Each structure stands twice: as structure tokens, then as C-alpha cells.
């Protein structure tokens, strides 16, 4: 189904031929028809392209296809092509995660998702965590390197996506980019240092729509490029994109959106009001902190079940192969199942007797054997130690505190929440029922 409010449209124009009775100038003839067809008042035309486009009008006998971006604040003419090309119109959406980049390729004429994929954020080589990257961005070369790394990666993946779907990157006429405030700054080549220093002021929150060329993206050079605005230093464009996508802002009842990544961002509200909050979700949910923790990539255990009767443990692995580690959602799943099975007690301590033959030790600490060495990809056992568990429980406490504080601030109780949205790379894999059992997310009616 074609989108109801497209940001970019292509219109085929069979313009009236010039005559002594209609001596409208060539470009004015084109603009007039586009404005009438799309019912718009203004239409900006890039000056440098005018000589080329007026020649094209004549050589194609005034039958052309015009591509127009319609988004506020002002419509723009993106391109003019000879003849009818209006069936080819594509869009790209990019999620700038600290760890992973996610992409969606859309057919904008049909409003249809063609493909989605992800790739590691290559800025990781400048530092796995955001603070290290902010530090590296303190020099012009560092900032430039961080910017080029992420833009180069987007261009590389886009090229591949286009090849798979037999289209040219030039046929992508719209691109949206959303990330947290720091990732957005690095993507734009803006020094993010002020974000982590009091009074925590970003360099920019709202950008005017740009062109792909201005951003360095290898799409149609004048493709409409929208970078989601940030709300503040710790509520970024990715959260706004989540609010938009979830439809939370249109709900009558109270809803909650949780975006769990390095930080947890939480938005509470309905069609009338929204309140947002960000806080450290705790290191347990980041890859590399728990002993066998990893990001939600191939080889990560993302779901765990323990049979209540037989105590038998089963798990699923992203990609289907042998496990390498356990990702954030797998960790929550595992902990919830261990608690249900009584292997973790109310104080959060591992119970040696209940763990049975899965009881083990690592670095002198009690631990639970998740996968024996002979079943893993690397031949090392995957275990959950008491230390890992303590960190996870502190994260859980942090998360619960964020939620409680936020709802109480506006005079509500967690029980008042009617709808629950979970976003983020972590959210893609989380099983909300497990998070509820863990007490990380509130019970919903």
C-alpha cells in the first residue's frame, strides 16, 4: 500500500508544449505543473542543476519525471529525469547503535519493506564504550575518523543491499538516521564532549532536512536526508524514532516505552503528554561485561528454558550454531528461569543443592554451568558466576528504579500502565515475560 504521507514523491509530467499562446519559461513550466500536481505552494530548485534540467526538458519533448521531497519546512526538487521513471523510488532507514548499525531498505512507492540487515559499528575500534569514543573525538583527526568510520560502513552495507535488490544507490531518494545523542554528533562530525560534562548540553538537537551528499552518504546526492532530532544529551533521536514507530504518542491509555542499550531510556505517556528519562541500565546488559556476555550477534544464547519438572536446561542460539556466549536478553531469560526453578534464592544467591551437577566454580566464586565446554563453539564452558549475577541484579534494580521514579514523578503507579513497548537491539530479543519474572520490568495487568 502506498504510504499516506510520503516524504518523497515522483511525478510523471507531460507538460504543455511551448507555443506563442503559452510562453511560460521552461523551468517555470515545470515548476508550475509540479506545484499543481502535488498541491504545494513552494518548490525550491537547486541552482546548479538548472542548465542541465532545462536542456533535458527540451530533449525529452517536455515529458519528464520529477522527484520532489515534500517534508517541511519547504518542498524541494530532487531530480528531473527523461520519460517515465516513477516506479523506481526507494528509501533507507539507519539506526546508529553504539555497538550495531541496523538498516532497512524500503520501496517507497509501495510502502513495502524490502530488506533489513545489521552490521557492527566500526567505531568500536576507537573504543567499545561511548566515553572512550567521546575522548577520541577530542581531536579533529579523531572526530573525522569516527565520522568516516560510520559513514563508510553505511555506504558499504547500502551498496551490498542495493546489489542484492538490483537497484542503484542513486535510486534511494530518502534516508532517515536515528541514534543516541552522542552517536548522532559523531555521525554529523560534531564534537560530543559537552554531552558528558555538566551542564550536559549537546551541540545540536534539531537539524533541518539535509541532502545525502551533505552527510557523505552515497545515495542520490540530493536524496532527502532526515536525522532524527535529539531531546537532550541522554534522550536521543533513536528514542524519538521509537515513540514514532510504536505509536505510543497516539494511545489514549498510559503506555511505556523502554529502549535498553548501554543506557536505558524510558518514555511514559499517551496522546496528551510524554515524559522521558534515561539512566544507566547497568553493565550487565552490555556485551563483554558478564564473563560470557556478548552482543546479540551470531553465536549468542538469546533464550533459555529450564523444565520445571526435570530441571533440564534448553537454549536457542542466534544463527543456530554452537554457542559462543550469552547476550543481554539471554542473561535475563536465564536468570528468570533459575529463579523460577529455585536455583537462585530470594536474596539472589545461587543455591548449590538446587544447582546439582551444574554447580561449578570460577575464579574461586560459585557459578552455574550453562553450557559445558564440549558443546560450545570455542571449547570453553559458558557459566554464570555469582559476580555476574550480582551485577545483573544491580542492573535490574537500576531499571526498576528508573521505572518507579518516572511513574511516581507524574503521580502514577506501575499498575496504571496499559501498554508496554520494548525497543533497542536488546529489545529485539528480550522475552518480556521473563523480564517481568525477574522484576526488571513491571507486572502488567
- Give residues in contact with a second copy (CB under 8 A): 18-20, 23-28, 31, 42, 44-45, 47-48, 50-51, 54-55, 58, 73-74, 188-191, 194, 198-208, 210, 214, 230, 232-233
Helix H or strand E encompassing 353? helix 352-355
Identify each DSSP E strand in 30-69 by its residue range.
63-69
Q: How far is the CB of 20 from a second copy (least distance, A)?
A: 5
Q: How far is the CB of 50 from a second copy (least distance, A)?
A: 6
Candidates 427, 386, 426, 397; CA nearest to 291 is 386
Q: How far is the CB of 415 from a second copy (least distance, A)?
A: 32
Centre a 10 Å sphere on the Cβ of residue 194 and count the other Cβ atoms it contains. 16
Q: How far is the CB of 56 from a second copy (least distance, A)?
A: 12
Q: Tell me how far apart the alpha carbons of residues 103 and 90 are, in angstroms, rounded to a whole number.
A: 13
Q: Considering beta carbons, is residue 195 or 399 the nearer one to a second copy?
A: 195
Task: Compute φ and ψ for 156, nearest 5 degrees.
Answer: -65, -50
Q: What's the half-sphere exposure (Cβ side, CA atoms, 13 Å) at 139?
A: 6
Angle at 114 between CA 113 and CA 115, to 5 degrees: 100
CA pseudo-torsion sign 372, 375, 381, 382: negative
Q: Considering beta carbons, is residue 225 or 383 the nearer one to a second copy?
A: 225
Q: Considering beta carbons, is residue 9 or 147 the nearer one to a second copy?
A: 147
Q: How far is the CB of 47 from a second copy (least distance, A)?
A: 5
Q: How far is the CB of 261 from a second copy (least distance, A)?
A: 21
Q: Tell me how far apart the alpha carbons of residues 352 and 204 are, in angstroms, rounded to a whole number.
A: 53
The CA–CA distances, whole Å, from 172 to 107, 217, 290 equal 9, 11, 41
Q: How far is the CB of 24 from a second copy (least distance, A)?
A: 7
What SS3 state is found at 285? Answer: helix
Q: Considering beta carbons, is residue 58 or 349 the nearer one to a second copy?
A: 58
Q: Considering beta carbons, is residue 24 or 270 the nearer one to a second copy?
A: 24
Beta bridge partners of 260: 264
Q: Considering beta carbons, is residue 52 or 310 the nearer one to a second copy?
A: 52
Q: Tell me how far apart the alpha carbons of residues 417 and 163 are, in angstroms, rounded to a whole number.
A: 45
Q: Considering beta carbons, is residue 176 or 233 the nearer one to a second copy?
A: 233
Task: Compute φ and ψ for 400, nearest 5 degrees.
Answer: -65, -35
Amino acid at each position: 500500500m502506498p504510504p499516506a504521507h510520503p516524504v518523497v514523491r515522483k511525478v510523471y509530467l507531460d507538460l504543455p508544449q511551448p507555443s506563442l499562446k503559452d510562453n511560460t519559461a521552461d523551468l517555470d513550466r515545470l515548476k508550475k505543473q509540479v506545484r499543481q500536481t502535488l498541491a504545494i505552494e513552494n518548490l525550491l530548485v537547486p541552482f546548479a542543476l538548472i542548465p542541465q534540467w532545462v536542456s533535458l526538458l527540451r530533449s525529452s519533448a517536455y515529458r519528464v519525471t520529477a522527484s520532489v521531497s515534500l517534508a517541511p519546512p519547504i518542498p524541494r526538487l530532487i531530480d528531473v529525469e527523461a520519460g517515465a521513471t516513477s516506479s523506481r523510488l526507494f528509501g533507507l532507514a539507519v539506526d546508529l547503535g553504539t555497538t550495531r548499525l541496523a538498516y532497512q531498505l524500503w520501496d517507497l512507492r509501495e510502502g513495502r519493506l524490502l530488506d533489513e540487515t545489521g552490521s557492527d559499528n566500526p567505531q568500536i575500534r576507537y573504543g567499545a564504550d561511548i566515553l572512550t569514543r567521546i575522548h577520541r573525538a577530542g581531536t579533529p583527526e579523531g572526530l573525522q575518523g569516527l565520522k568516516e568510520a560510520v559513514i563508510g560502513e553505511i555506504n558499504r552495507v547500502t551498496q551490498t543491499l542495493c546489489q542484492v535488490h538490483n537497484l542503484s544507490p542513486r535510486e534511494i531518494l530518502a534516508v532517515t538516521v536515528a541514534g543516541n545523542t552522542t552517536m548522532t554528533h559523531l555521525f554529523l562530525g560534531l564534537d560530543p564532549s559537552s554531552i558528558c560534562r555538566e551542564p550536559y548540553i549537546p551541540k545540536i538537537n534539531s537539524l533541518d532536512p539535509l541532502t545525502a551528499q551533505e552527510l557523505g552518504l552515497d545515495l542520490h546526492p540530493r536524496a532527502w536526508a532526515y536525522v532524527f532530532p535529539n531531546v537532550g544529551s541522554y534522550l536521543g533521536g533513536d528514542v524519538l524514532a521509537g515513540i514514532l514507530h510504536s505509536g505510543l504518542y497516539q494511545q489514549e491509555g498510559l503506555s511505556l516505552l523502554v529502549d535498553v542499550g548501554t543506557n536505558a531510556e524510558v518514555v511514559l505517556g499517551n496522546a496528551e503528554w510524554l515524559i522521558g528519562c534515561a539512566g544507566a541500565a547497568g553493565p550487565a546488559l552490555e556485551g563483554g561485561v558478564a564473563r560470557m556476555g556478548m552482543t546479540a550477534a551470531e553465536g549468542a544464547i538469546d533464550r533459555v528454558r529450564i523444565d520445571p519438572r526435570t530441571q533440564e536446561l534448553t537454549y536457542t542460539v542466534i544463527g543456530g550454531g554452537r554457542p559462543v556466549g550469552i547476550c543481554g536478553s539471554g542473561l535475563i531469560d536465564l536468570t528468570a528461569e533459575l529463579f523460577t526453578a529455585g536455583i537462585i534464592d530470594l536474596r539472589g544467591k545461587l543455591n548449590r543443592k538446587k544447582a546439582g551437577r551444574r554447580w561449578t566454580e570460577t575464579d574461586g566464586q560459585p557459578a552455574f554451568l550453562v553450557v559445558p565446554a564440549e558443546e560450545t563453539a570455542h571449547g570453553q564452558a559458558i557459566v554464570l558466576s555469582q559476580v555476574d549475577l550480582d551485577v545483573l541484579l544491580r542492573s535490574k534494580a537500576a531499571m526498576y528504579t528508573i521505572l518507579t521514579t518516572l511513574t511516581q514523578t507524574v503521580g502514577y503507579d506501575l499498575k496504571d500502565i496499559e501498554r508496554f513497548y520494548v525497543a533497542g537491539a536488546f529489545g529485539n530479543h528480550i522475552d518480556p515475560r521473563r523480564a517481568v519474572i525477574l522484576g526488571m520490568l513491571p507486572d502488567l495487568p
